Each structure stands twice: as structure tokens, then as C-alpha cells.
Chains A and B, each alone.
Chain A
Amino acid sequence: QKEVEQDPGPLSVPEGAIVSLNCTYSNSAFQYFMWYRQYSRKGPELLMYTYSSGNKEDGRFTAQVDKSSKYISLFIRDSQPSDSATYLCAMNPGANNLFFGTGTRLTVIP
């Protein structure tokens, strides 16, 4: 079993929809949780990071962490075609090595 599980999708939604992306993890030592966006042929771009359980909002993006359930989510409101990309969850136990999910490919249809 991988330490971080993420539904690979693909996920297609109409423009303006709310998107929900999720990851589960098994390692209780994970302390920091991140979401990256990766466009084709580009490196991952950091979108959000959180430490404690709860919600963190940044514009159209909301990151949610539930440590008791070992479950994290990223919500995208009013999705745009430019949001079409692969979304990667990542987490670490406090050291400088990130554990990534396999990524969810999202397509927002105009």
C-alpha cells in the first residue's frame, strides 16, 4: 500500500463547476500538507500548504485537512479552462522529503 493515495481520474467538469480533489494517507507522522498544480511539460507549482486540521482558503482554492481521518481535499470554485492540469497532493513528516500522490488530471470544459 502506498503511503499517499490519490484518485488518478481523469476528471472532466464544465466551466464554473466546483471541483473536489482528494487524497488519503496512512503515515501519522505527516505534518505538512500541500497541493501542487502541474501543467503538461512543466514542473509542479505550489498552490496551497497547510499544517493543522481545518480549512485554508486562497482565492478560488480551499484546502482542507482532516488528520483524524487521514484525509485531505482541495476545492476549486468557479473552475476555469485554465485550471485544466494535473493536481498533486504532497505531504511530509517534517523533513525535507515530500511524499506525493500520483496526481489527478482535471479538464475544465468551456
Chain B
Amino acid sequence: KAGVTQTPRYLIKTRGQQVTLSCSPISGHRSVSWYQQTPGQGLQFLFEYFSETQRNKGNFPGRFSGRQFSNSRSEMNVSTLELGDSALYLCASSGAGGMNTEAFFGQGTRLTVV
């Protein structure tokens, strides 16, 4: 069974640009969550999508957005990039249940903003 796939693995962008990251969850999983990981703040929840609807949202500015497609694949977008957006962005998928008790993470996309 394939795991969670995130693309691309690495990205370098310039301040002010926008970026789109992709996540393909484990087959059959309907919930996809996104996290930002930085050395100073650790892992922080961005948002969660379930059946194409945003179900939960963390405390990030509106520059961070996402969506989920009918096949459960998800994308997140960051507009007007800032240097502080440099981080490892992780996607986690879990089944149809309401709890994130068995969330499986992808390897992440490392974004560097210069």
C-alpha cells in the first residue's frame, strides 16, 4: 500500500511569489491535514480537509489556503511569500474517522524563500 506522497520534495522561491504544494493521501483515506514545521515553532497545524471541505483551520494568515479534490488529493497554496514561510510542509492523511489518532505523514516539501 503506497504511503502519503508529497510533491515536490524541495522548492526555492523568491519573496512575493506564490507556491502550490501537492499531497496524495493513502488510498481510501479521506482526511488530509497540513502542518508547517520550523526549528523555532515545531509542527503547527495549518488546516484539515475532509470530503473536499475544510473542516478545521489553524492560526495562520489568509495567505495560506488549501483545497481537496474528489479523489482526496489535496493542494495547499501560499501567496505573497515571506522569508518566514521557509519551512518543511507536511501532509498527513487519515481514514474516515473523526480523530487524528492514526495520521500518516508524507516526507514533506521543504520550501526555501529567498
Bind each other: yes
| CB pair B45 A97 closer than 8 Å | yes
Task: State in angstroms the CA–CA spacing of A72 and B13 once bound together.
Answer: 39
* Contacts known (A44-B43, A44-B90); A96 close to B105, Cβ less than 8 A: no
B99: Cβ under 8 A from any A Cβ:
yes
Interface of B is mostly: strand
Interface of A is mostly: loop
**Interface size bracket, A side:** 20 to 34
Looking at the assembled complex, report how far the CB atom of A110 sits from the nearest CB atom of chain B, in whole angstroms.
27
Point out the residues of chain A lying under 8 angstroms from B98, CB to CB: 94-96
| Count of residues in B whose CB is under 8 Å from the partner chain | 28
Q: Which residue of A lies closest to B32 (CB)?
A: A96
Interface core residue of B41, B56, B100, B107 (most chain A CB under 10 Å):
B100
| CB pair A100 B42 closer than 8 Å | yes
| CB pair A102 B42 closer than 8 Å | yes
A-B contacts, CB under 8 A, total: 66
| CB pair A97 B58 closer than 8 Å | yes
* Contacts known (A43-B4, A43-B90, A92-B99); A99 close to B45, Cβ less than 8 A: yes
In chain A, positions 85-99 with a C-beta closer than 8 Å to chain B are 88, 90, 92, 94-99
Task: State in angstroms the CA–CA spacing of A101 and B94 once bound together.
Answer: 20
Interface flags for A36-80 (1: CB within 8 Å of B; 0: not) read 100001111110010100000000000000000000000000000
In chain B, positions 91-106 with a C-beta closer than 8 Å to chain A are 92, 94, 98-106
Q: Which residue of B lies closest to A43 (CB)?
A: B105
